[in-house]
């Protein structure tokens, strides 16, 4: 029984007030009003759903995929959210793959198979009414059936890059549409607009026009005669995708295409690309549907996303201002008015509501101006290099106006930078790195603190933040360093070097005992402050974003961040991994500001984002209503590519929540949660340089140590802690180690010139698997099996990480490493691509010559999975599953290391038809899984006659390319497991009655 699934969403349908999604072999139905899951039902047996076809005059839905189809019936009640779904026709298996289906009547349907054959079936009697095979014997990659008044129209997308249009009423095809240079992936038709849209793996979208050859305009479009009387020509050939174009759909105003490049392209009927939006975390978008107001997409990241159709046309409200001056700096105030600093020593306050402006003449001596606005946006500070300071305040009530509250001359020497630290303090940086913090005293200023910035090449600040409660200030300098000061101590309490590259941090946010920095290196970095223990003030982790210039957060939850990608301004939603807004404005090397606010009356409140920027000495303003452009996740996304490894744990903070740690081919390591209501959510996402192949969880220092490794021979260690904050669980993580076994490119070059540097001809080494033992409370030993056949041993102790051994015993790639406590000794087991299993004693101190004390060959080829069970002090049961489709149980007897041998062995090769990727012992049961998507439950036993295994049951998983399984929970009547591969699925495996 499937409890939860996250995998490719291969079908979506907008149906009345509902959103239907085909995920695996099940249909999920969500409310279009509140996006809540209403119900779900298994429709097919072990086949992915590729189409949902509603009947126009009833509440029936035809579901098909693979070689099967079934029919659902929706039953409504007075409450629109109270919906029942019934499978009226059980899954029926056809003789060939299905590409399209169509309703003919309430009791009959037509299906199009992969060999260009149309069959008409009576669904009530399950009888074949008729069959029509086309003269064009071509394998189809796609197809579309249209029910006509006098027949069935077939549009066949062939492997020969052409679309063949024929009808069941005629022998010869009606039309051949040629022009694509690749196989046809989808065909869409809009009879009202008279167009056909096709997509292909040549990355193109083609719009075909239908033209009547005769002057008769009264001919019905849903007749064979009409299709015989028209000519079809290619009107537009469209290129906007960077990879294969998978699907398209047609609305009254737009043509929408989606593809492998994760792009949604909106086209108009004349072939112009109106907008291109990236979605689904760079995963393939498999399905799309649209109505008059929304577009729904399903992707390879397991997400169903609904987008407003207005996104294609809506570009916000544009406004330009010209004040007959040359603006240098600009910012929004708290009341969304503008303050402008021009090149004539004037500060202008522009009231947007009544279109009036007030000008203040500044009496500054230097033309080098410093301009900053406070966090609350009510205070504006303008200073110059010589120390002249003006502070202006905007009133909160009545008509908005600006007042000069401070006009002072500071004796700080040459001032290089000025920043607000909160709403009361200004931070100045002068020559020789002297940092001065001032605050207001009536209409004058007073010095609150003085600090000294450590020496660096460009010794001034780029950002600052203050925490008055803890009397702490955090600053970032132009060389990318971040320094933590406490008031009363001139020198830094703690410094972090080269945090954000040579441009320095762009913003610093202090929250409780944490602070967050952003920078122009495409990262957000998280730190922890402990004023009592300097060693506990440390860098925790970082988040990599899709764009380089990360400027600042625009919300209180630190979820919405803004920045630039070249000339485009971006607002990014961190939690949902998508871009909310993209505006081409020329780039961040200009003065600009952005504000997010809610406006409206009564119950009709709308969220707005307003951007202002200077371009060509003009001030441009862009106002966006977010409901017209922001997309909504119906189901939350996860990995956009294959999951290679998965482990789970629970926390005492909330035992009902299970934490899933996963690593995948998309180079991310994710920690996700599934609660008691089976709601899935990614909590944190970490990046590796290459794919994540393996991970292990170890209890360490009152937390969970996550050790992950994979491509580029990279190993990462992160310490995870779970806390409850504001009634929500929060994952705290600290990055302990980021280590590359082969070294970075710079380390490999060893600072040599290009003439003297040598090339490492050894291919990139991958860490295929690892396991961890903890000899002491503060010591971790890691055993890593690598693709270059080396076994590498690492030690983490007292915050240092080192490679201590490289052992060469195997001649081929090591696929699996597992440690087991056996007879009070630590035994390491390694498995290779030739089916070899080796046992190593790793209990003694390292430095001596280490070699396996026993080696045997269990499988005929590579071993993908292994599990062990200690039976006694001298007997070890080992289960291995490999590429030979066989599960091998071996009882290894170890009376002594010199006399180790296989006592009994049993081979089981009849339960799976593909590579075995997972084996697990659970009490007296053995669970196995394979690429064939089956999960098998066996009961094992060992006696004096040998090993015996009894088959109990087998389930089918909707996860393709299964990489393994993990046990989540066990009870008296079932075992809950998580199968992972191209997604993940929770399955409940029933246990036999003990009686």
Are 118 and 152 in contact, with CB atoms under 8 Å apart?
Answer: yes
Residue 536 shares a structural domain with residue 508: yes
Q: Which of 296, 306, 308 is nearest to 10 (CA)?
A: 296
Measuring CA to CA, how many Å separate 692 from each of 695, 765, 768?
8, 13, 9
Query: Domain total for the chain?
Result: 2
Across the range 289-311, mean pLDDT stands at 95
- Written as six digits, the tokens of 476 are 């970032």
Are 106 and 58 in contact, with CB atoms under 8 Å apart?
Answer: yes
Q: Is the dihedral of CA 63, 66, 69, 70 positive or negative?
A: negative
Res. 322: pLDDT tops 70? yes
Q: Tens of pLDDT along 165-184?
A: 999 988 899 999 999 999 99
Strand order in the sheet with 60-65: 51-54, 60-65, 68-75, 84-93
The reported pTM is 0.91
Residue 500 shares a structural domain with residue 620: no
Residue 409 shares a structural domain with residue 492: yes
The confidence band for 643, taking pLDDT boundaries of 50, 70 and 90, is very high
Q: Tens of pLDDT along 539-553?
A: 999 999 989 999 999
The confidence band for 94, taking pLDDT boundaries of 50, 70 and 90, is very high
- Written as six digits, the tokens of 159 are 């492997």
Residue 536 shares a structural domain with residue 551: yes
In a domain, 894, yes or no: no
- Written as six digits, the tokens of 475 are 């600053």
Burial of 83 (0-12, 13-18, 19+ CB in 10 A): middle
Residue 550 shares a structural domain with residue 575: no
Question: Strand, coil or helix: what is 654?
Answer: strand
Residue 108's Cβ-side half-sphere holds a number of Cα atoms within 13 Å equal to: 14
Residue 330 shares a structural domain with residue 462: yes
- Written as six digits, the tokens of 92 are 């029926």
Distance in Å from the first CA to the final CA of the chain: 22
Residue 520 shares a structural domain with residue 436: yes
Across the range 812-827, mean pLDDT stands at 94
Look at residue 72 in the predicted model and tell me its pLDDT.
95
Residue 476 shares a structural domain with residue 341: yes
The confidence band for 566, taking pLDDT boundaries of 50, 70 and 90, is very high
Residue 388 shares a structural domain with residue 510: yes
> Among 558, 585, 607, which residue terminates a domain?
558
Look at residue 321 in the predicted model and tell me its pLDDT.
86
Res. 732: pLDDT tops 80? yes
In a domain, 525, yes or no: yes
CA distance 335 to 337: 6
Res. 749: pLDDT tops 60? no
In a domain, 485, yes or no: yes
CA angle centred on 464, ends 593 and 415, rounded to 5°: 90
Residue 546 shares a structural domain with residue 418: yes
Q: Is the dihedral of CA 136, 142, 148, 152 positive or negative?
A: positive
Residue 385 shares a structural domain with residue 528: yes
Res. 217: pLDDT tops 90? no
Look at residue 768 in the predicted model and tell me its pLDDT.
97
Are 550 and 537 in contact, with CB atoms under 8 Å apart?
Answer: no
Give percent of the chain with pLDDT exceeding 90: 79
In a domain, 979, yes or no: no
Look at residue 398 in the predicted model and tell me its pLDDT.
85
Residue 542 shares a structural domain with residue 594: no
Look at residue 185 in the predicted model and tell me its pLDDT.
96
Mean pLDDT of the chain: 92
Q: Which of 79, 37, 606 is nearest to 304 (CA)?
A: 37
Q: Tens of pLDDT along 154-166?
A: 999 999 999 999 9
Full domain range(s) for residue 606: 559-627
Res. 763: pLDDT tops 60? no
Across the range 926-940, mean pLDDT stands at 96
Across the range 863-876, mean pLDDT stands at 95
Q: Tens of pLDDT along 488-529?
A: 999 999 999 999 988 899 999 998 889 999 999 999 999 999
> Among 542, 558, 574, which residue terminates a domain?
558
Q: Tens of pLDDT along 236-245?
A: 999 999 999 9
Are 649 and 695 in contact, with CB atoms under 8 Å apart?
Answer: no
CA distance 402 to 391: 10
Res. 926: pLDDT tops 70? yes
Look at residue 757 in the predicted model and tell me its pLDDT.
60
Question: Strand, coil or helix: what is 584?
Answer: strand
In a domain, 386, yes or no: yes
In a domain, 568, yes or no: yes
Sole residue written with tokens 């000008």? 359
Are 571 and 560 in contact, with CB atoms under 8 Å apart?
Answer: yes
> Among 627, 648, 682, which residue terminates a domain?
627
Q: Tens of pLDDT along 585-633?
A: 999 999 999 999 998 766 778 999 999 999 988 999 999 999 999 999 9
Res. 759: pLDDT tops 60? no
Q: Tens of pLDDT along 342-381?
A: 988 999 999 988 888 899 999 888 888 999 999 999 999 9
Q: What is the CATH number of the domain that holds 547?
A: 2.130.10.10
Long-range contacts at 513-520 (CB < 8 A, ≥ 24 apart): 513/470, 514/540, 515/465, 515/474, 516/553, 516/558, 517/463, 517/476, 517/482, 518/550, 518/551, 518/552, 518/553, 518/561, 518/563, 519/480, 519/550, 520/548, 520/549, 520/550
Look at residue 673 in the predicted model and tell me its pLDDT.
95
Res. 80: pLDDT tops 70? no
Look at residue 602 in the predicted model and tell me its pLDDT.
65
In a domain, 677, yes or no: no
Please give the radius of gyration of the chain, using alpha carbons only, rounded to the nearest integer.
Answer: 33
Residues 6+ away with beta carbon under 8 Å from 610: 332, 336, 594, 595, 596, 597, 621, 622, 623, 624
Sole residue written with tokens 């009231």? 351
In a domain, 377, yes or no: yes
């Amino acid at each position: 029984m499937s409890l939860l699934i996250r995998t490719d969403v291969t079908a979506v349908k907008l149906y009345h007030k509902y959103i239907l999604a085909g995920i695996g072999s099940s249909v999920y139905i969500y409310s279009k009003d509140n996006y809540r899951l209403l119900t779900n039902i298994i429709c097919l047996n072990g086949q992915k759903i590729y189409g949902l076809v509603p009947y126009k005059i009833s509440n029936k839905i035809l579901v098909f995929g693979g070689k099967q189809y079934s029919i659902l019936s929706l039953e409504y009640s007075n409450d629109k959210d109270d919906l029942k779904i019934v499978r009226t026709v059980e899954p029926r298996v056809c003789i060939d793959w299905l590409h399209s289906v169509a309703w003919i009547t309430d009791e009959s349907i037509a299906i199009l198979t992969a060999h260009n054959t149309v069959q008409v079936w009576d669904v009530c009697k399950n009888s074949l009414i008729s069959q029509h095979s086309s003269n064009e014997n071509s394998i189809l990659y796609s197809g579309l059936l249209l029910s006509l008044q006098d027949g069935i129209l077939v549009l066949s997308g062939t492997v020969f890059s052409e679309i063949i249009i024929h009808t069941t009423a005629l022998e010869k095809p009606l039309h051949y549409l040629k022009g694509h240079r690749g196989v046809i992936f989808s065909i869409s038709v809009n009879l009202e607009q008279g167009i056909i849209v096709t997509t292909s793996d040549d990355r193109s979208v083609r719009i075909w026009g239908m033209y009547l050859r005769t002057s008769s305009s009264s001919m019905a479009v849903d007749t064979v005669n009409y299709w015989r009387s028209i000519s079809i020509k290619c009107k537009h050939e469209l290129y906007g995708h960077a990879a294969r174009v998978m699907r398209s759909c047609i609305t009254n105003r737009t043509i929408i295409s989606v593809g492998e490049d994760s792009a949604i392209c909106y086209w108009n009927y004349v072939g112009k690309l109106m907008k291109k939006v990236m979605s689904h975390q760079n995963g393939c978008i498999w399905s799309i549907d649209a109505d008059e107001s929304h577009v729904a997409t399903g992707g390879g990241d397991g997400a169903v996303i609904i987008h407003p159709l207005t996104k294609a046309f809506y570009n916000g409200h544009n406004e330009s201002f010209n004040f007959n001056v040359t603006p240098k700096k600009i910012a929004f105030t708290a009341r969304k008015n503008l303050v402008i600093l021009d090149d004539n020593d004037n500060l202008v306050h522009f009231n947007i509501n009544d279109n009036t402006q007030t000008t203040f003449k500044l009496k500054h001596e230097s033309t080098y101006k410093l301009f900053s606005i406070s966090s609350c946006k009510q205070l504006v500070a303008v200073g110059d290099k010589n120390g002249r300071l003006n502070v202006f305040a905007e009133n909160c009530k009545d008509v908005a106006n600006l007042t000069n509250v401070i006009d002072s001359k500071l004796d700080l020497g040459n001032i290089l930078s000025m920043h607000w630290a909160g709403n009361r303090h200004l931070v100045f940086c002068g020559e020789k790195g002297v940092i001065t913090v001032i605050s207001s005293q009536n209409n004058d200023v007073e010095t609150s603190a003085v600090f000294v910035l450590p020496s660096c090449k460009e010794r001034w600040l780029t950002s600052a933040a203050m925490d008055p409660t803890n009397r702490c200030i955090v600053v970032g300098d132009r060389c990318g360093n971040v320094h933590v000061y406490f008031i009363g101590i001139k020198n830094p309490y703690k410094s972090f070097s080269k945090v954000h590259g040579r441009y320095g941090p762009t913003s610093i946010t202090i929250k409780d005992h944490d602070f967050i920095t952003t920078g122009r290196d495409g990262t957000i970095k998280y730190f922890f402050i402990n004023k009592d223990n300097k060693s506990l003030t440390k860098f925790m982790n970082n988040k990599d974003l899709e764009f380089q210039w990360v400027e600042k957060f625009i919300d209180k939850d630190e979820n919405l961040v803004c920045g630039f990608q070249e000339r485009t301004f971006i607002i990014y939603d961190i939690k949902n991994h998508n871009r909310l807004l993209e505006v081409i404005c020329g780039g961040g090397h200009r003065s600009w500001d952005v504000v997010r606010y809610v406006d409206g009356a009564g119950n009709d409140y709308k969220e707005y984002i307003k951007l202002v920027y200077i371009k060509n000495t003009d001030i441009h303003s862009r106002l966006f209503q977010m409901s017209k452009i922001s997309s909504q996740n119906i189901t939350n996304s996860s990995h956009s590519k294959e999951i290679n490894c998965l482990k789970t744990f629970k926390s005492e903070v909330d035992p009902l929540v299970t934490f899933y740690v996963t690593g995948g081919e998309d180079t991310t390591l994710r920690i996700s949660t599934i609660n008691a209501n089976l709601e899935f959510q990614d909590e944190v996402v970490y990046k590796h340089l290459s794919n994540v192949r393996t991970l292990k969880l170890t209890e360490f220092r009152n937390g969970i140590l996550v050790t992950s490794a994979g491509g580029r021979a990279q190993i990462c260690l992160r310490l995870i802690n779970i806390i409850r904050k504001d009634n929500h669980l929060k994952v705290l993580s600290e990055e302990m180690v980021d280590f590359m076994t082969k070294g970075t490119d710079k380390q490999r070059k060893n600072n040599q010139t290009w003439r003297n540097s040598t090339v490492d001809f050894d291919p990139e080494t991958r860490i295929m698997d690892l396991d961890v033992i903890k000899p002491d409370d503060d010591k971790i030993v890691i055993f890593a099996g690598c693709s270059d056949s080396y076994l590498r041993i690492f030690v983490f102790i007292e915050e240092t990480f080192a490679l201590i051994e490289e052992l060469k015993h195997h001649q081929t790639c090591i696929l699996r490493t597992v440690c087991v406590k056996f007879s009070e000794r630590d035994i390491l087991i390694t498995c290779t691509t030739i089916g070899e299993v080796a046992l190593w004693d790793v209990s003694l101190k390292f430095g001596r010559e280490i070699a396996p004390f026993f080696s045997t060959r269990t499988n005929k080829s590579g071993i993908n999975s292994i599990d062990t069970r200690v039976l006694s002090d001298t007997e070890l049961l080992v289960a291995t599953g490999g590429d030979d489709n066989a599960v091998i149980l071996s009882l290894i007897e170890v009376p002594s290391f010199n006399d180790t041998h296989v006592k009994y062995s049993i081979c089981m090769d009849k339960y799976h038809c593909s590579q075995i990727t997972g084996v697990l012992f659970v009490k007296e049961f053995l669970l196995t899984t394979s690429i064939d998507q089956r999960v098998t439950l066996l009961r094992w036993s060992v006696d004096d006659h040998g090993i015996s295994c009894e088959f109990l049951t087998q389930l089918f998983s909707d996860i393709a390319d299964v990489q393994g399984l993990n046990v989540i929970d066990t009870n008296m009547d079932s075992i809950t497991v998580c199968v992972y591969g191209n997604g993940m699925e929770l399955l409940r495996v029933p246990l036999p009655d003990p009686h």
